Amino acid sequence: MDLKTKTPRNILMYSHDTYGLGHIRRTLSIARHLAGEDTNVIILTGSPLAGRFPMPDHVDFVRIPGMIKKTNEDYQPISIRLQPWHAMNIRKSIIMATADTLAPDVFIVDKEPLGLKKEALPALEWMRRELPACRTILGLRDIMDDGETVRADWREKGVYAALEDLYSEVWVYGNQDLHDSVKEYAIPESVARKMVFTGYIPRAAPSPENAARLRASLGAGNGTPLVVVTTGGGGDGGKVVETFLALLEQGPVPYKSVLVTGPFLSQAAREAARERAARLGAVFYEFYSGMEELLAAADLVVSMGGYNTVCELLSLKTPALLVPRETPRREQLLRAEAMSGRGLVSHIRWGDLTPENLEGRISAMLENPEPYRRAMEGFPLTGLDVMKARIARHETGRE
């Protein structure tokens, strides 16, 4: 059939987005790669910042009311004044209506197998019943949490049965030899056969010329090192921000600093950090939409070790010092430990973070960054190509 008259493939993606920027950034990266002249991608997202990211061609999003996690089971609306059950019912209705109207060829669910508080379950059950040809895919980041916690959570919520009955495939956005989800999460053999370790998700690198221009605009020209500190969404990054500013207050440093706090750091903490950064000569951003460009321009990045930031650093070959959070989930710590063991990054435990420790590690890494760059050069980033190939194999009936 001629491409011009061929019915486009429709992919529906669900990203619950209750906290931070990780889910929507990962989802947009995947959507950008899967979309094309013959493929539309619609994203269901609860992120209040979805509209601040540029939408790729053939990609659009449907906004569901945003929720924020207060405790493991308590979620509250971010901005609308409704009871949680009311907001959740609206979310569930929008998800179901979008699925029914679009009738997607592929449905990709990010991280939460049943959706937030099982809100995606009706759509998954409907697709299995009414759209048997739809490919239902669960996408998991490389590490969810420690194995004991994930196993207990999945048993309690009935996730193992859902993986068996409602999903065609499970994509793990990581390398099995770095973290084996099949073993750690006690995946039964019937589900393990559906699992595909795609590898990590690469990010596009800006040109060296653009990176050089950005460095110069930030005051890091003429060989001055550039250190970028970023805490992702920032909701739990206050300690990293505070410690780095305390380091700068101890005296002059031989590098230029850029601090990106994230939009979810409390307003009081954000304004205090802005004032201190200005006084200390550091460049301050609350939110920076082109993080790949900023990280590519850096000589060293200090970060908390979220999945998306790590993928960007691996793609850009920028040395990184991670300060992973250890609560309420241990995934950042496990990721930092696994990658430190391969020489890809360095890390400081949350409880060991002090201005003195931070200064010593930054100085050592700026002095000798090459081992980290060499380790990154040899690390494969296959995620997007594997995903696209999996969808193409299904389209051509090769499986």
| Domains and their CATH numbers in the chain | 9-201+381-395 (3.40.50.2000), 208-377 (3.40.50.2000)
User: How do residues 73-87 score in pLDDT, each as one tens digit?
Assistant: 678 888 888 999 999
Continuous H helices in 253-354: 267-280, 291-297, 307-316, 331-341
Examine the pLDDT at 20 and tell me if it is beyond 70: no
| Residue in the structure block whose two tokens are 């994203």 | 43
Length of the chain: 399
Share of the chain above pLDDT 90, in %: 77
Examine the pLDDT at 6 and tell me if it is beyond 70: no
Rounded to 5°, angle at Cα 185 from 179 and 190: 110
How far apart are alpha carbons 347 and 254 in whole angstroms? 21
Examine the pLDDT at 262 and tell me if it is beyond 50: yes
Examine the pLDDT at 1 and tell me if it is beyond 50: no
Written as six digits, the tokens of 56 are 């790729």
The reported pLDDT for the residue numbered 2 is 47
DSSP structure string for 46-83: --TTGGGSPPPTTEEEEE---EEESSSS-EEESSS-S-
CB distance 353 to 240 below 8 Å? yes
Calculate the average pLDDT of the chain.
92
> Sign of dihedral through CA atoms 320, 325, 329, 333?
positive
User: How do residues 194-213 score in pLDDT, each as one tens digit?
Assistant: 999 999 999 888 898 999 99
CA-closest candidate to residue 62, choices 81, 79, 46, 84: 46
Give per-residue burial for 125-134: e unless 16+ CB within 10 Å, then b.
eebeeebeeb
Examine the pLDDT at 3 and tell me if it is beyond 50: no
The reported pLDDT for the residue numbered 48 is 81
User: How do residues 119-157 score in pLDDT, each as one tens digit?
Assistant: 999 999 999 999 999 999 999 999 999 999 999 999 999
